[in-house]
């Protein structure tokens, strides 16, 4: 196998199971030293298990059981990477939780918990890595920093029953655009990945879609997204930043995001009468919106 990440050190959050675990194993297989982050609970330590699996295969890994929505936890992650492996070259913000509920029944705690892990956690670790790489750049050291944030189809298109999760993942996509512009001058790229995969969060929610069929290509295998992620975190991908990619089975999409669409220019301030007269034509010429997930039009309806 190609040693695409040989000599590089990566921090991967939420790496004890599902997508994060697949990412960690892929990175290690390509030569990266991996800081595996996840929380231990109920007598289980999935991050330690992944780190042990990597080390048993001849790789280098260490586990850190800290909350990435906490500044002290993020500082511990970075300090551990530097202490154990000498540096950090890539950060994968993958940790996530769900607190699904229809909007009218959602509690403030359910909203805040999702925002804390997804948005606050992504911000804190990105900021910590960026500060380290900026200091290195200012000291004249070469920097090849890579940040990949995990968004979701729910964030790009919306999903019924996931107002909190959809908002957080949409926020991550926008955060990625801004961070890419701000940090590029220091040798840092920032991209986002929108994986479609079978995880603990999706296996029951979309059971019909996620269940593998024996003898057929498993389009929802979490490992499908890992090769693209590994490449984005390599030195080869230094020219790619501010992009969002979707992986669906054997397909890779470059998501194009918001663009100004059709327009009508009256050359003056509109009146309510203008709106009433012109809006039907404007909407008729507009490209239809992507269907929100969970609707019949999307073809992906929760079981």
Which pLDDT tens digit goes with each residue over 17-32? 999 999 999 999 999 9
Report, as an integer, the average pLDDT of 271-295: 95
Is the pLDDT at 302 greater than 70, yes or no? Answer: no
Q: Is 152 a catalytic residue?
A: yes
Q: β-strands 60-64, 145-150: how paired?
A: unpaired
Please give the pLDDT value at position 14: 98
Residues contacting 236, CB < 8 A, separation 6+: 4
pLDDT band at 301 (very low <50, low <70, confident <90, very high): confident
Catalytic residue among 63, 69, 157, 165: 165
Report, as an integer, the average pLDDT of 64-85: 98
Catalytic residue among 63, 169, 194, 234: 169
Please give the pLDDT value at position 152: 97
Residue pair 28/1 in contact by the 8 Å Cβ criterion: no
Q: Is 165 a catalytic residue?
A: yes
Please give the pLDDT value at position 252: 97
Report, as an integer, the average pLDDT of 180-204: 87
Please give the pLDDT value at position 198: 81
Which pLDDT tens digit goes with each residue over 147-191? 999 999 999 999 999 999 999 999 999 999 999 999 999 999 999
Please give the pLDDT value at position 25: 98
Is the pLDDT at 285 greater than 80, yes or no? Answer: yes
Please give the pLDDT value at position 234: 98
Please give the pLDDT value at position 206: 53
Closest CA to 247 of 197, 173, 301, 174: 197
Please give the pLDDT value at position 216: 80
Q: How is domain 9-258 classified at the CATH fold level? A: Rossmann fold (3.40.50)
Catalytic residue among 63, 69, 152, 194: 152
Is the pLDDT at 105 greater than 90, yes or no? Answer: yes
Please give the pLDDT value at position 300: 75
Residue pair 244/191 in contact by the 8 Å Cβ criterion: yes
Residues contacting 202, CB < 8 A, separation 6+: 210, 220
Please give the pLDDT value at position 298: 87
Is the pLDDT at 201 greater than 70, yes or no? Answer: no
Please give the pLDDT value at position 214: 74
Residues contacting 287, CB < 8 A, separation 6+: 261, 262
Is the pLDDT at 73 greater than 90, yes or no? Answer: yes
Read off the pTM: 0.93
Report, as an integer, the average pLDDT of 3-10: 96
Please give the pLDDT value at position 200: 59
Please give the pLDDT value at position 299: 79
Q: Is 76 a catalytic residue?
A: no
Number of CB atoms found within 10 A of residue 49's CB: 16
Residue spans of beta strands (DSSP E) within 183-266: 188-195, 244-248, 251-255
pLDDT band at 9 (very low <50, low <70, confident <90, very high): very high
Which pLDDT tens digit goes with each residue over 106-148? 999 999 999 999 999 999 999 999 999 999 999 999 999 999 9
Is the pLDDT at 207 greater than 60, yes or no? Answer: no
Please give the pLDDT value at position 229: 98
What average pLDDT does the structure give for the chain? 94
> Domain boundaries in the chain?
9-258, 264-303
Residues contacting 239, CB < 8 A, separation 6+: none
């Amino acid at each position: 196998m190609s040693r695409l990440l040989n000599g590089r050190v990566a921090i991967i959050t939420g790496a004890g199971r599902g997508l994060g675990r697949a990412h960690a194993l892929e990175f290690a297989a390509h030569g990266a030293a991996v800081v595996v982050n996840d929380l231990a609970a109920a007598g289980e330590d999935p991050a330690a298990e992944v780190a042990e699996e990597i080390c048993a295969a001849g790789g280098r890994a260490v586990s850190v059981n800290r909350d990435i929505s906490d500044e002290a936890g993020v500082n511990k992650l970075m300090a551990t990477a530097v202490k154990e492996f000498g540096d950090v070259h890539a950060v994968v913000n993958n940790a996530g939780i769900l607190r699904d509920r229809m909007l009218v029944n959602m509690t403030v705690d359910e909203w805040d918990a999702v925002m804390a892990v997804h948005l606050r956690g992504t911000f804190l670790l990105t900021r910590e890595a960026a500060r380290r790489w900026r200091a290195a750049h200012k000291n004249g050291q070469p920097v090849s920093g890579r940040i990949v944030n995990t968004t979701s189809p729910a964030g790009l298109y919306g999903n019924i029953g996931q107002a909190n999760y959809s908002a957080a993942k949409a926020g991550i996509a926008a955060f990625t655009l801004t961070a890419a512009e701000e940090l590029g001058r220091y040798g840092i790229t920032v991209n986002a990945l929108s994986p479609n995969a079978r995880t603990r969060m999706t296996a029951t929610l979309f059971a019909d879609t996620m269940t593998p069929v024996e003898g057929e290509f498993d389009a929802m295998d979490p490992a499908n997204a890992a090769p693209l992620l590994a490449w984005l975190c390599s030195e080869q991908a230094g020219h790619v930043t501010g992009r969002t990619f979707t992986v669906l089975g054997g397909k890779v999409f470059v998501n194009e995001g918001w663009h100004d669409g059709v327009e009508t220019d009256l050359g003056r301030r509109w009146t309510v009468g203008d709106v009433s007269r012109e809006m039907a034509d404007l909407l008729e010429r507009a490209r239809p919106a992507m269907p929100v997930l969970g609707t019949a039009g999307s073809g992906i309806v929760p079981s």
